[in-house]
Amino acid sequence: MNRLDRDPEPSEPPAATNGDRRGGTEDALRRTEEECEQLTASVEQLEARLDHQARHDPLTGLPNRAVFLELLAGTLEHAAASTIAVMFLDLDNFKVVNDSLGHDAGDRLLVAVARRLEHRLRDGDVVARFGDDEFTMLCRGLTEPSEAADLAERLLATLATPFAVGGEQVFLSASIGLAIPNSADEPAELIMRDADLALYWAKQRGKARVECTSDVMRARVEERLALEQELRRALREEQFAVYYQPMVRLDGRRAVAFEALVRWNHPERGLLPPSEFLAVAEANGLVAQLGAWVITQVCRQIALWKELAVSDHDPVVSINLSARQLLHTGFVDEVAASIKEAGIASRNLCLEITESVMLEDTVSVIERLEGLRDLGIELTVDDFGTGYSSLGYLKRLPVSSVKVDCSFVNGLGRDADDSAIVAAVVSMAHALGLRVVAEGVETAEQIVELEALGCDLAQGNYFAKPQLANVVTSLLRHPLQWRRMPAA
Ligand code: C2E
Ligand code: CA
Ligand code: CA
């Protein structure tokens, strides 16, 4: 097709009057002005959109971290400190939801959380998305600080109602750290740090709770953080030691096994028992590293005892496991590697698990326990009777013995209830083909009763306190000496 045919251009401008010409120019000007206005409006819109994007979280539409800090600083300039509170909220175990339901569901959940928080706050309060599953709230116009704590509790309650995501009901909980500034000239960063510390404390104290900053809390958190640092260093510098406490067969009174108990040779505070550091190691995950170190040391020690040919039978050593260790995918392989590296037999090892492992009653944990059993390692249920004792899981788990908790052993010979409990545990365990170890045995009377009840093994200060490996070496060489051993 010919372009000229389709859109012929006039060879001459059309004839026009003066008036027409002026009118045409004005029209053109008006059109240009309108176009300019439209353009300005859309530039403004674009700017506003960009500004909104820069200041808001794209997922939830809430103000972001920068805006929140700006608002807090602005509020501090104008309001009395006592009328302001800052909350730091973090969803508990959100990673689990994300991992199990997928990121899309995780995103939808975050949006739903944002809406519930917004809905629950009062007029004038601000909620912002601070990070992944972290939200911050600024409460203004408080008449007294306790109002903020009440509001925080209400926020937790509002999140406790299950969320419907992807056709599933999802249960969530959250922890809140609450900070109330001491004075209006306190910098925003300091208040945020306080709220963050309070949140850390809420998590440490079991999650799903509100904690408010106080001097006591600050001191405790700082102490705990320092202990955490020291623990990391202690692991690097191997400041730990393994002590061994004999388990004695009641028929024959021979030490046939030992429980490995970790101690920390603290450079300033001396020898520390697990009660001084294990909870912190559990809380921050260092317990897995510590546990792996204990397993390696024990395997090497068993190899050394073998090499020294200290006894006719290879000693069996029982090691305490933290539930966290069993959550590691490669745990069974790590244990197998330690056994192999030391060149010992797996029947020399026994692993003690507590009933809390049952809370992690997932297929993978059971599979790992079966993997350990298949390696030839014995498993024992520790502190039996203090947790969720149920025959069901004893049948389900590949365990070969139970350790009756010392709180029941303690009352033997004095408290009829304790005797009845121990008797029941012994007969039940025997019916399932399991051995029974009594722990924390301190008196001859307890031994007499345990023998009468048919308990298989006993462990406790009555025989020996936990000992260093070299003391155990001589105990293995001269088995009859154990009853006369001096206290450690
Ligand atoms: P547990 O497994 O119940 O260990 C027995 C505890 O009772 C030990 O405390 C032991 O020293 C103490 N004990 C032994 N005989 C007696 C007695 O006659 N009377 C009394 N009152 N107590 C006695 P310890 O060594 O302080 O360990 C405390 C807990 O720390 C252990 O309790 C265990 O749960 C944990 N633990 C120890 N070592 C490790 C480890 O290497 N890894 C892990 N994950 N936990 C460990
Ligand atoms: Ca134990
Ligand atoms: Ca125990």
Q: What is the mean pLDDT of residues 169-179?
A: 94
Q: How far apart are CA 125 and CA 146, in angstroms?
A: 16
Q: What is the mean pLDDT of residues 374-383?
A: 94
- Look at ligand 1, atom 46, and give the residue with the nearest C-alpha: 320
- Look at ligand 1, atom 8, and give the residue with the nearest C-alpha: 261
Q: How far apart are CA 374 and CA 348, in angstroms?
A: 14
- Look at ligand 1, atom 23, and give the residue with the nearest C-alpha: 440
Q: Give the pLDDT of residue 10.
A: 39
352 alpha carbon to ligand 2 midpoint, in Å? Answer: 6
Ligand number with the minimum distance to the CA of 245: 1
Give tens-digit pLDDT for 358-371. Answer: 666 577 888 999 99
Substitution site in 242, 259, 261 for ligand 1 pocket (most atoms within 8 Å of beta carbon): 261
Q: Which residue(s) pair with 137 in the sheet?
A: 87, 127
- What is the CA 411 to chain-centroid distance, rounded? 35
**30-37, Cβ contacts within 8 angstroms, sequence gap of 24 or more:** none
Q: Give the pLDDT of residue 43.
A: 74
Ligand number with the minimum distance to the CA of 325: 1
- Look at ligand 1, atom 30, and give the residue with the nearest C-alpha: 274
For residue 327, report the phi and psi dihedrals to the nearest 5 degrees: -80, -15
Ligand number with the minimum distance to the CA of 262: 1
Q: Which residues surround ligand 2, an ion (CB under 5 A)?
A: 320, 352, 382
Give tens-digit pLDDT for 240-270. Answer: 999 999 999 998 888 899 999 999 999 999 9
The answer to whether 393 touches 358, Cβ cutoff 8 Å, is yes
Q: Which two tokens stand for residue 29?
A: 């000007």
Q: How far apart are CA 6 and CA 426, in angstroms?
A: 104
Q: Could you tell me the pLDDT band of residue 479, with boundaries at 50, 70 and 90? A: low
Q: How far apart are CA 480 and CA 227, in angstroms?
A: 41
321 alpha carbon to ligand 2 midpoint, in Å? Answer: 8
Q: How far apart are CA 486 and CA 167, in angstroms?
A: 65
Ligand number with the minimum distance to the CA of 440: 1
Q: Which amino acid is at 286?
A: L
Residues in contact with ligand 1 by the CB-under-6-Å rule are 245, 261-262, 273-275, 278, 287, 291, 294, 320-322, 382-383, 406, 439-442, 460-461, 466
Q: How far apart are CA 316 and CA 245, in angstroms?
A: 11
Q: Give the pLDDT of residue 359.
A: 65
The answer to whether 292 touches 458, Cβ cutoff 8 Å, is no
In the block, tokens 């006592």 appear at 82
* Beta carbons within 10 angstroms of residue 322's beta carbon: 19
Burial of 369 from C-beta contacts in 10 A (0-12 / 13-18 / 19+): buried
Give tens-digit pLDDT for 85-142. Answer: 999 999 998 988 888 888 999 999 999 999 999 999 999 899 999 999 999 999 999 9
- Cα torsion 401, 403, 408, 414 to 10°: value is 80
CA-based R_g, the chain, Å: 35
Q: Which residue(s) pair with 212 in the sheet?
A: 178
Write down the pTM of the prediction: 0.72
Substitution site in 320, 325, 381, 457 for ligand 1 pocket (most atoms within 8 Å of beta carbon): 320
Look at residue 382 and tell me whether its pLDDT is greater than 80: yes
